[in-house]
Structure 1
């Protein structure tokens, strides 16, 4: 998986979380706004997460 593919999948997952929260009637609108801001800010950590889970290009046996 390339970083571009990871970024796209990660953004899609975060968007799906927001959609699920928006469709839930039990979510308080003010809390939804706060969580939406947090989730949107998580998108900036995509390169860090990708680097953390990426397999090393050379493995030492």
Structure 2
């Protein structure tokens, strides 16, 4: 699935993303890095365990 279609499915603004990041290539690169980054998992864990420090660092 293309990134723009994914953003449309979740109701997000793809054009705004591209504007903020500067290019579609950088938006795609950022999305791919997100898949291998453990920040989101750490954020979920921190929130579930009510560990504010872990959640804050992950965010």
Class of the TM-score when normalised by the shorter of the 2 chains: 0.3 to 0.5
> What's the TM-score, normalizing by structure 2?
0.33
Specify which structure has the bigger relative contact order, considering alpha-carbon pairs within 8 angstroms and separated by 6 or more residues: 1
Please say which structure displays the higher CA radius of gyration: 1
